Amino acid sequence: MDRRLFLIGAASMSAVGVIGGCALTPASPSAYSISPIDPGEHSKTIEALKPPKRKRPVIAVVVDKEGSETTDTIVPHAVLSLSGLADVHVVAASSYPVELFPALTIVPQMTFEDFDDRYREGADYVIVPASHRIDSPKLVPWIAQQAGKNATVIGICAGARTVAAAGLLRGRRGTTHWYEVEDLLKEEPGLIPVTDRRYVVDDGIVTTTGVTASIPVSLALVEAIGGFQQAEALASRLGVSSWTAAHNSEAFSVTREAVWAAISGRVAFWNRQSIGIPVESRSSAIALALTADAWARTDRSRTIAIGHEPRVELDSGLALADLSDPATKVSRMVEVERGPAARALDETLAAISTAYGEDVARYVAIQVEYAWAEGRS
């Protein structure tokens, strides 16, 4: 599900100041404080994430033809590919391009059939992004099949709901995007919900909080596969200082500012801007995903990937499709961060704040469950 939609429904109830029985709350900078994770807990988590089969693991990032979330999909694939420690593939039911939401179109690298033929023992890890259709008849059985072959299954964000549809969360501890928790518990009442953890590991099944948790959980996998020094080196390269599960769940709720940002954006739908993002061969997949995802969530703009060729291979090896011609007219061009890739989100939120106001930037940050406060993260 596109997390922008929750505020649209919420807006109709904003006059009474109540959403789903919960009072609208103002954003509070103090809410962003996070208690550190005990080193012993982190060590146990990393141990539980170690490859179940191969020294050099095989990783499948699964996408659904009806659309999977942009950052949930592209970031884990990129982090793990750039680590050089695993064979990582984006896998789908067919080889046709998949339009991600809320932005970008990618080309799957393998079909389920191809993957099964090549890796008869199955994957070591299966990464499940949030998808529009949580009960996909092609995706869900394949995930369950891989779990039956002893793969570690990782539900990113609302991908936990697809993992639950595969019957893998019953009796397990887990988490998901803050707005999806209630629905997940309805679909899988046997889940034991966990708060204040960015990712949770329980007996071969991993779940994470919202969109941006894809970065720390991917680095945790790098540490589990290659050790702390490998993870630290990659994290430094990406501009990430920590990848523990530390999180503050109370920092995320429907705020007055967010509801106003949603209402005002929808009211001005006829004046929506087009944001052009130039993409070149070997562009940073992580920076591109974070940039395009954030701009597309403002309710004031849509993102258009622009390139000299209709298809471009990113630095992760993943191909981006359906790029628009450089002559395409757009409202503004936005350059992707060329420094450490993970910092692209802070840069983009700052740019959104300048373009549309701080409330809109916070609205985007809430959607991707990112602790951003006046430029601080």
Cβ distance 165 to 221 under 8 Å?
A: no
Buried b (16+ CB within 10 A) or exposed e, 80-110: bbbbebbbbbbbbbeeebbbbbbbbbbbbbb
Judge whether residue 19 has pLDDT over 80. no
**Could you check whether 15-28+253-367 and 38-249 share the same CATH topology?**
yes
Pick the CATH number of 15-28+253-367 from 1.10.3210, 3.30.360, 2.60.40, 3.40.50: 3.40.50
Count of positions (residues) in the chain? 377
Indicate the helix (H) or strand (E) that contains 142: helix 139-148
What pLDDT does 28 receive?
44
Written out in words, the top-level CATH class of the domain with range 38-249 is alpha beta
Summarize pLDDT for 151-180 with one digit per residue, the tens. 999 999 999 999 999 999 999 999 999 999
pLDDT band at 253; cut points 50, 70, 90: confident
pTM for the full predicted model = 0.92
What pLDDT does 268 receive?
61
Judge whether residue 241 has pLDDT over 60. yes
Summarize pLDDT for 187-236 with one digit per residue, the tens. 999 999 999 999 999 999 999 999 999 999 999 999 999 999 999 999 99
Domain ranges of the chain: 15-28+253-367, 38-249
Mean pLDDT of 55-82: 98
Judge whether residue 23 has pLDDT over 60. no
Burial class (CB in 10 A: 0-12, 13-18, 19+), 179: buried
